[in-house]
Chain A
Amino acid sequence: MRVVVQEAPFDFGAEAEAFASARTDMGAVVTFTGVVRDLAGDRLDAMEIEHYPGMTQKALEAIADEAIRRWSLGDALVIHRFGRLTPGERIMMVATAAPHRKDAFEAAEFLMDYLKSRAPFWKKEHGTDSAGWVAAKDEDEAALDRW
């Protein structure tokens, strides 16, 4: 398992290539990456991501540990950035490896659902005309219930 919290960009291709590459018993690898998207009405100049140094790493490791335990994963990777990002930049990625695809997909979705609502990150959108904190959605909280 690897959990990385960093300000710098990461190389999605290289990370995906290297992930679980030493394992010959894992038949399924799922990767997901989240990307900063433009605002619907306004132009997004930047997405500012604040986090809670100290708690972030521990919270992400606990979430990844839980995914590994529940889906018997061969490996899991979480990379999450903080700081000031522009549209099109990758914010984060997860990767999961399991013998079969169902477990790899489910574990990746579990990781994403928990990262969204239980990892101490907060996003602020800086548009051309306005700036504001992204509000948590009820549906994101509700998504945890299925696990």
Chain B
Amino acid sequence: MDVLYFAWVRERIGLPRERVETDAATVSDLVTELSAREDRYAAAFADLSALRVAVDQELTDFDAPLAGAREVAFFPPMTGG
């Protein structure tokens, strides 16, 4: 699936998107997998209360299942308007 990062999450991880091969069942499982990769991921995902997630461009939560998902995005709380 494609994993996208925005704002300071993108800056901390150092890339805007990447292709990830994973069997993660939920968003939380994916976060655990990514955090184990390198320090920069662990740093970005250190405080999940400071993060929001969208699966296939719909806001959801970290318990959301990933079966069939094509795109997961991580970002800080939004500041539109």
Q: Write the residues of chain A forming the contact surface with B, with a CB cutoff of 8 angstroms.
A: 34, 50, 52, 54-55, 58-59, 80, 91-92, 112, 115-124, 133-136, 141
Contacts and interface: CB of A to CB of B under 8 A. Distances in A.
B57 to A, nearest CB: 4
B7 A115 contact: no
B54 interface: yes
Interface of B: 4, 6-8, 54, 57-59, 73, 75-81
Given A50-B6, A52-B6, A133-B8, A120 B77 contact: no
Contacts of B77: 117, 135-136, 141
B75 to A, nearest CB: 7
Given A50-B7, A52-B73, A133-B7, A121 B80 contact: yes
Contacts of B81: 34, 91-92, 112, 115-116, 119, 121
A120 B54 contact: yes
